[in-house]
Structure 1
């Protein structure tokens, strides 16, 4: 498409759109936070899962104990 002054407006629009988007390197850069920050997040998640696992183990043990104490029907 050309404008009345002879410039290609579709090329200008494409260039403007490309300039507003991040570069492919920026879009696919997974190392934005840095390894140390990600390692800290993983440690925190590991601790949360460990606490949850301990809670589930205790709850299962309590349920089993209560079932063993229940009188037979």
Structure 2
């Protein structure tokens, strides 16, 4: 036991340690909506990245075509 000015602080620190850890019930409490929300977010991101990828592919093709049409110097 540790004491500080005659007061026992071991109980206080033990209660703080248990308060910072989640209870077993909290650890196994599954968020049922979480996976569906994440799946929807990932689907939206996939759609966005697909559109960007298509845009960049088209831009790169246009640049290549313009370089092929340019007269040599």
Q: Which residues in structure 2 correspond to 1:4-15 (within 5 Å)?
A: 4=6, 8-15=8-15
1:23 is aligned to 22
Q: Which moved more, 1:44-53 or 1:33-42?
A: 33-42
TM-score by length of 1: 0.71
1:47 corresponds to 2:47:
yes
Q: Which runs of 5+ in 1 are unaligned?
A: none
RMSD (Å), alpha carbons:
2.8
| Counterpart residue number, 2:3 | 2
Report the Cα offset of residue 24 of structure 1.
Answer: 6.8
Q: TM-score, normalised by structure 2?
A: 0.71
The separation in 1 between residues aligned to 2:28 and 2:50, in whole angstroms, is 32
Q: Which has the higher strand share?
A: 2
Unaligned runs of 5+ in 2: none
Structure 2 counterpart of 1:57: 57
Q: What is the count of residue pairs matched by the alignment?
A: 69
